[in-house]
Every structure is written in structure tokens, then in C-alpha cells.
């Protein structure tokens, strides 16, 4: 049921229902598959929406349109600004590139709508490099699910190829797209461009089950310890503590030294400091803030090392199942 503190996805659902079928369908044509699923689920779950709630959503939308529309401005710049505000710089970059480049990768796009098992069955016999390109193109959460259906000895190989992928020639991507289209057109049992890099591999691993994640990382480290460390470094950064559940923050605080905490927070923003201190007793929070102020200037390298020490503890706790990080932790904040 919607209320004054309605989440963004619920506001979107109310707005689309208020627009009517025709207009709503036109809007949804421009949304990503997973966005449509989220908004669709929110629409299905809306009950007893009052006239006042609908009016509030419409009024807020109209105010935004009046103050922030980009008519008369460069459309590319406006599009970048809107998508960056809505999705964040990282996700917006992926969407912007595909929109502005006018890509029409129907075969690859179709995979976004397929369930994970079907995608794995479609590509599991392909060369690992082809699999890496496909998984880099899909959303990390979807790719993580697909990866769980692969043989164990394939997972690390594919992740390493994703991490070392440095773009794909348009001609090669078009050829892959054509092959996938032909395969998809012959399949009747399916349910319904810069790619790759260490960050993509890390995002996929962040989304995967912790037990499988550990096995894959062990295999990668065995083959290429340096690459494995790069992936691990990208998987969880210190600022990601903002997405961790309060109870898990308390677990982390019990496992780290006060010295590491003081140093690591020297370069943190106020929101993250507040997140940490609200999970401490008033006395402990007061002492922490006094210690941070008393420490004076500290070299950035020392702060970074302290943050890495804490991240190491966080990853140990996550792999042991004591806390949740990555997408599993973020779900509560969507």
C-alpha cells in the first residue's frame, strides 16, 4: 500500500497506472527488462491507493517536469543528466552508451528476457571467450545466476576472461548477435560496445552465492593471483558499507580494531561516519569522533591501507556467512 514515504518504484507504478494503458506501454518500451519486472511487480502489489496519494505522485512529477525538463537544451546532455540522477553514474553509463550508439543487438537483448537456466543452456557449449562477452553484456545479477549453471571448472575461466576483456570490435559483436538470433529463432522451448573488465567480473561475483564465489576466487587466484586480487579489490569498496545492514555493521565493528576504524574514517564522508556511529554506544561514538579529530592530517596511503584491512575482515565475515554484502545486502535499500 502506498503512503507518504512511497518508494521510487511504487511512485513509478502509480504514475504509470495513472497514465493509462497506451501511454504506460509507450514509457515501458524504453525501460530495461529488470526495471519493467520491478515496476510490474509494484503495480501488481498496489492496493487501496487513495486519490490523495495519486495526486501527490502526479504533483511531484509535474513539479519535476517544470523545474528540470531539458527542452531547448542539448538532448544528449539532458539524457546523461537525467539517467545519471536516476541510475547513478555507473549504471547510467551503460544505458547511455547503448542509447546514443543506437545499437540494435536483438539477439543479445533477447537474452535479457530469458531465465538464467535457458541462457546457460544456450551458450554453455560456446567458447569461454564468447560466454565472457555475453555475460559482460548482461546485467551482473543475471550473469551471476547464469554462471551458477555452468560446470565448476568453467566458472573461473569465464570470470578471468571477463576481467581481462578490454572491449569488443563492433563487427565481432554484430556477428555474435547474428549467431544468437539464429539460435534463438530455432529454439521453441525458451522461457521468456564496451564490455568486460575487472569491474564487471567483480560485480558478477558480488551477485553470486557466497559458497560458489569462494570456489571461483580460489580457482582464479590459483591461475593468476594478481588478477584475483584486482577482482577482490573491486568487489567491495569501503564506501559500500553504506549498503550494509545495521546488524551486520555491528558484527563488523566487533571484529576490527579501533585504530583501523579511526584511520579508515579520516577520508570518509559524514553520511558513512553517521552510519558507523549510530551502531555504537553514545560513549563509544563520542570517543571515536574525538580520536578522529585528534589524529590530525594522515597520509592517504595510510587511510587506504586501513580501509583495505577492514575490507579483508568484511570479506572473511561474508564468506563465512556471518554478514551479507553486495547485491544481497542492497536488496533492502531498493
Residue 130 sits in a domain whose CATH number is 1.10.220.30
Residue 2 resides in a domain = no
Residue 70 has pLDDT above 80, yes or no: no
Instruction: Give the whole-angstrom CA distance, residue 75 versus residue 193.
Output: 21
Q: How many domains does the chain have?
A: 3
Last residue of a domain, one of 35, 67, 100: 100
Residue 174 resides in a domain = yes
pLDDT confidence bin for 13, thresholds 50/70/90: confident
Residues 218, 319 within the same domain: no
Kindly report the number of other CB atoms within 10 A of residue 151's CB atom: 8
Residue 1 resides in a domain = no
Residues 47, 123 within the same domain: no
Q: Are 264 and 307 in contact (CB under 8 A)?
A: yes
Mean pLDDT of the chain: 75
Which range of residues forms the domain containing residue 81? 8-100
Residues 172, 249 within the same domain: no
Residue 67 resides in a domain = yes
Residues 6+ apart with CB under 8 A from 173: 105, 108, 133, 193
Of the given ranges (15-24, 48-57, 62-71), which has the lowest mean pLDDT?
A: 62-71
Residues 241, 159 within the same domain: no
pTM, rounded to two decimals? 0.41
Residues 308, 293 within the same domain: yes
Instruction: Give the whole-angstrom CA distance, residue 43 versus residue 193.
Output: 33
CA–chain centroid gap for 205, Å, is 11
pLDDT 10s digits, 109-162? 777 777 788 888 888 888 888 888 888 888 888 888 889 899 888 899 999 988
Residues 241, 256 within the same domain: yes
pLDDT confidence bin for 67, thresholds 50/70/90: low
Last residue of a domain, one of 232, 258, 273: 232
Residues 94, 130 within the same domain: no
pLDDT confidence bin for 66, thresholds 50/70/90: low
Render the burial of 247-271: b for 16+ CB within 10 Å, e for the rest: ebbebbbeebeeebbbbbbbebeee
Residues 185, 117 within the same domain: yes
pLDDT confidence bin for 185, thresholds 50/70/90: low
Residues 114, 73 within the same domain: no
Tell me the CA distances in angstroms from 75 to 28, 94, 99, 167, one per residue in order. Answer: 20, 17, 12, 27
Residue 324 resides in a domain = yes
pLDDT confidence bin for 295, thresholds 50/70/90: confident
Query: CA nearest 96: which of 77, 115, 122, 109?
Result: 77
Residues 112, 217 within the same domain: yes
Residues 172, 202 within the same domain: yes
Residue 3 resides in a domain = no
Residues 111, 223 within the same domain: yes
Last residue of a domain, one of 179, 201, 232: 232
Amino acid at each position: 500500500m502506498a503512503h507518504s514515504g512511497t518508494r521510487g518504484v511504487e511512485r513509478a507504478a502509480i504514475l504509470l497506472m495513472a497514465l493509462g494503458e497506451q501511454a504506460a506501454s509507450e514509457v515501458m518500451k524504453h525501460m530495461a527488462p529488470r526495471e519493467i519486472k520491478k515496476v510490474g511487480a509494484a503495480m501488481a502489489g498496489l492496493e487501496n491507493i487513495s486519490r490523495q496519494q495519486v495526486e501527490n505522485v502526479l504533483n511531484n512529477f509535474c513539479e519535476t517536469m517544470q523545474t528540470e525538463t531539458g527542452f531547448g537544451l542539448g538532448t544528449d546532455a539532458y539524457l546523461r543528466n537525467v539517467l545519471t540522477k536516476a541510475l547513478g553514474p555507473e549504471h547510467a553509463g551503460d544505458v547511455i552508451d547503448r542509447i546514443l550508439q543506437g545499437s540494435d543487438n536483438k539477439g543479445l537483448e533477447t537474452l535479457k528476457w530469458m531465465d538464467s537456466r535457458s541462457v546457460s543452456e544456450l551458450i554453455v557449449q560456446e567458447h569461454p571467450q564468447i560466454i565472457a562477452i555475453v555475460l559482460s553484456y548482461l546485467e551482473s545479477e543475471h550473469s551471476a545466476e547464469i554462471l551458477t549453471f555452468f560446470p565448476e571448472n568453467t566458472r573461473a575461466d569465464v570470470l578471468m576472461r571477463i576481467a581481462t576483456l578490454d572491449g569488443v570490435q563492433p563487427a565481432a559483436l554484430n556477428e555474435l548477435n547474428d549467431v544468437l538470433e539464429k539460435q534463438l529463432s530455432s529454439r521453441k522451448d525458451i522461457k521468456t560496445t564496451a564490455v568486460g573488465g575487472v569491474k564487471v567480473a567483480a560485480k558478477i561475483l558480488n551477485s553470486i552465492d557466497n559458497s560458489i564465489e569462494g570456489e571461483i576466487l580460489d580457482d582464479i587466484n590459483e591461475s593468476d593471483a594478481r588478477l584475483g586480487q584486482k577482482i577482490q579489490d573491486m568487489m567491495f569498496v569501503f564506501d559500500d558499507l553504506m549498503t550494509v545492514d545495521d546488524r551486520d555493521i555491528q558484527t563488523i565493528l566487533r571484529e576490527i580494531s579501533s585504530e583501523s576504524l579511526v584511520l579508515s574514517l579520516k577520508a570518509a564522508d559524514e553520511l558513512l561516519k553517521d552510519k558507523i556511529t549510530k551502531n555504537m554506544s553514545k560513549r563509544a561514538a563520542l570517543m571515536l569522533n574525538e580520536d578522529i579529530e585528534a589524529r590530525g592530517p594522515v597520509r592517504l596511503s595510510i587511510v587506504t591501507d586501513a580501509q583495505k584491512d577492514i575490507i579483508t575482515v568484511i570479506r572473511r565475515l561474508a564468506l563465512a556467512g556471518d554478514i551479507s554484502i553486495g547485491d544481497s545486502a542492497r536488496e533492502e535499500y531498493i
